[in-house]
Structure 1
Amino acid sequence: MAKKSTRGQSRQDKSRQNEKKDRTKRAINQWSQIGKTAQYLGRVSVREVLSHTFEGNSHAVQSYSENSYLFMTSDAEVARQREERFAFEPKISVVVAAYETPQERLMAMIESLYVQTYSNWEVIIVDASETNGVFQIIRMIQKKYPNLPIVYEHSKEDRGIASTFNMGLNRVESDYVAFVDHDDVLEPGALYEIVKLLNEESEADFIYTDEDMVSEDLNIYQRPCFKPDYNEELLNTNNYIGRLFVVKRELIETIGAFREEFEGAQDYDFVLRATEQARKICHIPKVLYHKRLKNVSATSNPVGKVKSAEVAAKALMQHFERIGTPCEVKMKLEQGYFRPIYKADKFKQLLVIISGAYFEETKQITELRKFGVEIWHMPEENSGQKYVFDRKYILMIEKAAFLPSKSALEEMMGILQRPDVGAVGTKSVNAKGKVVQNGLVYFENGLVCPAFAGLKKNYKGYQGRGELTQYVSGINLYCAMLKKEAFEMTGGFLWELPHRYRAMDLCLQMKKAGYKLVQDPYVIVEMEEPEQYSTIEENRARLILKERWESELKSPDPYYNMNFEKGNARYIVRQR
């Protein structure tokens, strides 16, 4: 058995000693803060507060604390990285906005830079403090590390984080810029991984990584944030990019610096503008940034959080205006999360196809016909036939599903107004209130799994992914709306495959044609339990899908994360 590194072992021991105590404290603090915020908003029921509070410590991440060292850079890997040289070794400027930073925190941040395995960097610290405490710490650090490439500048006044970051940007002369908070820490291989990617992807001008949170004493690593590859629709619901992100200076010169009028949500505004103009956005699925958990007393201002959320909503609205997408932004209970409502087309552009042997002219169907919706019934024996559609949108309904409401159909049609979106999927639940599927995830062996299957229908999921609109690799066709032009770019359904694989095959065809698939968990369709596959059927379907999409399946599902368990799509952190 391989020997664990001493660095990793010490992290593991400390985590196991403190995890239970910290988890209890965190749950109490979370209840307190959510209660205060709900009281301020005056718009949430006790049921919602309880649901939000006690879902926070999901089984998906509980095991991370004691095994976090396995997700980090080992001693052997640190030594190897120090010896490696790249053909392209750009200088990276790390910009830090400091304000009355305690000595031990600023020291920890700077020392996490000092031990970087990549050496061509500088740190620019802009100090907006009223005292000279940070300045004295910097002087002490320079004496301790005389060769440290550090640039210090003091701001005459504290105008906020956006202004402070901008002062740092004015001092940047290198081609790439990273932004780090003054009391957070980096993994030793953080900048190495950035430069490694730049050597592989020369056009990358916006790069972001995974992250986690660390206790104030830097002993307990928890709440990992394993992110998808660039997911524009998910970004339209929250700033999932977080830290660490690195931007090419040329891109910053194109979009402009941080905007002070978005103080409190300055990162979100900056990220939205940067991703709009970026040539290539890349994601490194490794925990390279540790965000320090702040003392509760310093972050328990519910009014301030709501104001920041309102500023973030303003930034998102301006984003939609810039890209020319008519949209209404609704704020969710959790500050910083949003629900975009896109303007829908007219119902007379919609065709509903209900498949299966049984068909009944319900009151809802009759009402939809009055709005100009065309309704077709496709018996099972005719499912393989090709049909000519003259409507812009096609709603596919399996025999087991119930028709969504008129408002739900409008929401789905609204999402399809986006030119790059080819289809919209819905969340399917059974009579017991359990999720049948909430999107599809594929794995390299050809396996296709329904997301969040078997969990409660109101389960918010990892990082809220169970209740946020987002791009996915596949949607189920129990109830899905397709854009006619996107469907016509495909070869149609591969009827020999069972439903889940047939759906993924069609989605991969749409993706190849340049379209995105959006999962809309707000449209919930109750249905009977889906068909069950035998092992023989499943293996055959996997092999066919893998053969048809060999190049695509060589890489992990871009909207999942390689750090999650394989073989299911519940977003559970995998054991290493």
Structure 2
Amino acid sequence: MKKIAKKIVHKGMSGTKRVVSRSDRLKRVIKGAVLPYIGVSSATPAYTAWVQENYPDGIEVVKLHEADKALAYRPLISVLIPTYNTDLEFLDDCIRSVQAQVYDNWELCIVDDASPNEEVREAVKRYAKVDPRIKYKFLKENQHIANATNSAAKLASGEFLALFDHDDLLWPNALHEVVKALNNDKKIDFIYTDEDKITENRHEHLSPFFKPDANPDFLHSVNYVTHFSVIRKTLYEKIGGERPEYNGAQDWDLILRIFRATKNIHHIPKMLYSWRIHSESTAKSTDVKPYVVEAQKKAIEDDLLQKGRPDAIVAQDEKHPGYWKVTYPVQDDPLVSIVIPSKNQYKILKRCIDSIYEKTSYKNFEIVLVDTGSDDPKVLNWYKKLQQEHDNFVLLSWPEKPFSYAKSCNEGARVAKGDILIMLNNDTEVLNSDWLELLAGDAQREEIGAVGCLLFYPDGRRIQHAGVGVGLGGVAANSFQMMMLEQPMSQTQHLYINTKHNMTAVTAACLAIRRSVYEEVGGFDEEFRITYNDVDLCLRLHEKGYLNLYTPHVRLLHHESISLGTPDEVKRRDTTEMKEAVELFKQRWQKYIDHDPALNPNLSKDNAFYEPK
């Protein structure tokens, strides 16, 4: 390596390229050093093994051909490829990956956007000469990617259009899986799949993204859909195709409009597309093409405008510039009621209450303290002091044995006067001053049910909650519990932890909900005395058509389960009542344990880390 380094120093840029190209070891070292800094994880042995297990080999392809023959409905799929100065080797890989498809009723529509390199057009003509399924058009002037894609769509004869970048790869079963889904449901208008990335070496797979089902708030944080996307041609034409004023984010803008135009959206939870990373690719970094950032913001703002929320504030995430943060301002200054069940535990409760009064910037709130039987004089005297100092501190005496979080919250909600309810554990601490307006702003949205946040253990580093995964651990569990924000992460982990998106459930350790919605579903089910009452509530909201939401932009510390009692009490609860709660939860919600729409089925349920099975 020292000898190679000396050669690089003395040979300049062109010499450096030759040196690097001749050393596979140096390539690996450079990739390992650079990829983490551009937001792409390097290839891991675990994912390499996963690809080897799941990529269709020769035998699997034969089986797929047999299954493919059984498909009764066989629509023509038009695969659209705009080209511009494409690397000829990448273009060859791209086209051959379409020709290698198990499903054969396809056509390839290639539009070259006036590439300066004439060899690109010559290559396209060679492919079309030997394969009649390939159509092409050469634009005389560069019209950029949106217009080039629209030109390809005009060439198309298919019932469905598939968007395909000129340097990427389809897995052999991609179109087969698409048509298989259409055979199961002919009403589908739009399909998307999971994806990973490849380097210049098409065999090097990395950075898998195992996606959720349709997730509107995720789509405002990042274009989580991207590839592989297949759209009904009549819908593409109805919404006006791709818009050139959004070049750089033209696909994101298109997908946002698709989500507005139809509910018939289907996610295929299979890895079917590989996005190539190279020096000119947006798969590498938006920094390569700065205009992309402005186009992305414009697309999100237009979607919010069309949805009647022009007041929503769209900004790049300060810590993660590739992600976007949409803030919904609180409307009409509603009273927010913070409901906190508690008994004794002066030190713990005081830390919670003090953090609310000291750090909360939103002023129109009340604290409804549901005291479930305190007998500590220090606590009782402190209550009197709080009532004297704060006219928005409401003390509700609600002694009960045994303690029931569900009953206490329901009673607190009954007494509370606010239009927005915040259910809060007494062992939490507020970290950011705008927590209340962020929670209330999202909770006010008519499509939203419950809103949850990012909770940390007391060290402020380890995650305690980033949404609830139904089915994790066999029932339900907090996502990413015990992970740390600064640790190395997969793309899937990083996206789920650091973006606002819809989750099927969130914890009630800190949960915001409109009073009207809470009452509509009957509040917490008191059959779940201590555990799973929050997940049950969220699933009932989901069944009613509401979207539940996780936001990483609200952060609290959570000294988890301190309020539940002594270790012996917790142990007894875990061995008796816990079993009963688990059985009841399974009876009600087995379908979500089997498939949580926010949790990709390729991810292991043995832990909370969203790792491939």
Short-chain TM bin: 0.7 to 0.9
Q: Give secondary structure in 2 for the equivalent of 1:117.
A: coil
Which residue of 107, 112, 125 maps to 1:122? 107
How do residues 7-18 of structure 1 correspond to structure 2 at under 5 angstroms? none
Q: Could you tell me which residue of structure 2 aligns to residue 210 of structure 1?
A: 194
CA distance in 1, matches of 2:422, 2:308: 26
Q: Could you tell me which residue of structure 1 aligns to residue 251 of structure 2?
A: 267
Query: How many aligned residue pairs are there?
Result: 532
Are 2:64 and 1:81 equivalent residues in the alignment?
yes
Matched residue type, 1:371: K
Classify 1:474/1:134 alpha carbon distance in 2 versus 1 (closer, same or farther; 3 Å). same
Aligned residues of 2:256 and 2:303 also touching (Cα < 8 A): yes
Matched residue type, 1:293: I
Bigger Rg, which one: 2
Unaligned 5+ runs, structure 1: 1-17, 35-52
Offset of 1:370 from its aligned partner?
9.6
Which residue of 545, 552, 571 maps to 2:585? 545
Which residue of 453, 470, 495 maps to 1:442? 470
Classify 1:133/1:343 alpha carbon distance in 2 versus 1 (closer, same or farther; 3 Å). same
Deviations 1:517-544 (A, max 9, x none): 1011111111213366636555443221
Which residue of 499, 522, 538 maps to 1:507? 538
Aligned residues of 2:286 and 2:293 also touching (Cα < 8 A): no
Classify 1:110/1:375 alpha carbon distance in 2 versus 1 (closer, same or farther; 3 Å). same
Classify 1:369/1:135 alpha carbon distance in 2 versus 1 (closer, same or farther; 3 Å). closer
Matched residue type, 2:240: G
Q: Could you tell me which residue of structure 2 aligns to residue 336 of structure 1?
A: 322
Aligned residues of 1:213 and 1:293 also touching (Cα < 8 A): yes
Offset of 1:135 from its aligned partner?
2.8
Aligned residues of 1:441 and 1:448 also touching (Cα < 8 A): yes
Which residue of 146, 150, 154 maps to 2:134? 150
How do residues 17-166 of structure 1 correspond to structure 2 at under 5 angstroms? 24-30=29-35, 57=41, 63-83=46-66, 84-128=69-113, 129-143=115-129, 145-146=130-131, 148-166=132-150
CA distance in 2, matches of 1:457, 1:342: 25
Q: Could you tell me which residue of structure 1 aligns to residue 482 of structure 2?
A: 454
Q: Could you tell me which residue of structure 2 aligns to residue 407 of structure 1?
A: 434
Classify 1:208/1:297 alpha carbon distance in 2 versus 1 (closer, same or farther; 3 Å). closer
Are 2:225 and 1:248 equivalent residues in the alignment?
no
Classify 1:436/1:444 alpha carbon distance in 2 versus 1 (closer, same or farther; 3 Å). closer
Classify 1:130/1:500 alpha carbon distance in 2 versus 1 (closer, same or farther; 3 Å). farther
Q: Could you tell me which residue of structure 2 aligns to residue 395 of structure 1?
A: 422
Q: Could you tell me which residue of structure 2 aligns to residue 432 of structure 1?
A: 459
CA distance in 1, matches of 2:85, 2:180: 34
Are 2:237 and 1:198 equivalent residues in the alignment?
no
Classify 1:181/1:274 alpha carbon distance in 2 versus 1 (closer, same or farther; 3 Å). same
Which residue of 366, 369, 372 maps to 1:374? 366
Deviations 1:209-267 (A, max 9, x none): 01111221312111111111111111100101111000111211221111111111111
CA distance in 2, matches of 1:66, 1:446: 25
Classify 1:22/1:399 alpha carbon distance in 2 versus 1 (closer, same or farther; 3 Å). farther
Q: Could you tell me which residue of structure 2 aligns to residue 8 of structure 1?
A: none
Offset of 1:29 from its aligned partner?
2.3
Which residue of 254, 262, 266 maps to 1:278? 262
Classify 1:163/1:296 alpha carbon distance in 2 versus 1 (closer, same or farther; 3 Å). closer
Offset of 1:19 from its aligned partner?
10
Offset of 1:299 from its aligned partner?
8.6
Offset of 1:357 from its aligned partner?
0.9
CA distance in 2, matches of 1:202, 1:300: 36
Classify 1:541/1:211 alpha carbon distance in 2 versus 1 (closer, same or farther; 3 Å). same
Matched residue type, 1:179: L
Q: Could you tell me which residue of structure 2 aligns to residue 311 of structure 1?
A: 295
Q: Give secondary structure in 1 for the equivalent of 2:64.
A: helix
Q: Give secondary structure in 2 for the equivalent of 1:545.
A: helix
Classify 1:242/1:19 alpha carbon distance in 2 versus 1 (closer, same or farther; 3 Å). farther
Deviations 1:88-120 (A, max 9, x none): 211110000112223322222111111211111
CA distance in 1, matches of 2:111, 2:362: 63
Question: Please, which moves more after superposition, 110-119 or 190-199?
Answer: 110-119
CA distance in 1, matches of 2:431, 2:343: 20
CA distance in 2, matches of 1:428, 1:401: 9
Classify 1:349/1:106 alpha carbon distance in 2 versus 1 (closer, same or farther; 3 Å). same
Matched residue type, 2:98: L
TM-score in terms of structure 2 length? 0.80
CA distance in 2, matches of 1:545, 1:74: 41
Which residue of 245, 261, 272 maps to 1:288? 272
CA distance in 2, matches of 1:541, 1:300: 46
Offset of 1:296 from its aligned partner?
7.1
Matched residue type, 2:163: F
Unaligned 5+ runs, structure 2: 1-22, 373-398, 565-569
Q: Could you tell me which residue of structure 2 aligns to residue 557 of structure 1?
A: 596
CA distance in 1, matches of 2:581, 2:52: 38
CA distance in 2, matches of 1:569, 1:499: 21
Q: Give secondary structure in 2 for the equivalent of 1:522.
A: strand
Matched residue type, 1:186: L
CA distance in 2, matches of 1:225, 1:334: 17
Deviations 1:405-450 (A, max 9, x none): 5511001111123211011101211222211111100118851111
Matched residue type, 1:165: T
How do residues 318-357 of structure 1 correspond to structure 2 at under 5 angstroms? 318-325=302-309, 326-332=311-317, 333-357=319-343
Q: Could you tell me which residue of structure 1 aligns to residue 552 of structure 2?
A: 521
Matched residue type, 1:417: Q
Aligned residues of 1:348 and 1:374 also touching (Cα < 8 A): no
Classify 1:102/1:444 alpha carbon distance in 2 versus 1 (closer, same or farther; 3 Å). closer
Classify 1:413/1:369 alpha carbon distance in 2 versus 1 (closer, same or farther; 3 Å). closer
TM-score in terms of structure 1 length? 0.85
Deviations 1:457-507 (A, max 9, x none): 556772422111110111111111111122112233234536452211111
RMSD (Å) for aligned C-alpha atoms: 2.8
Matched residue type, 1:123: L
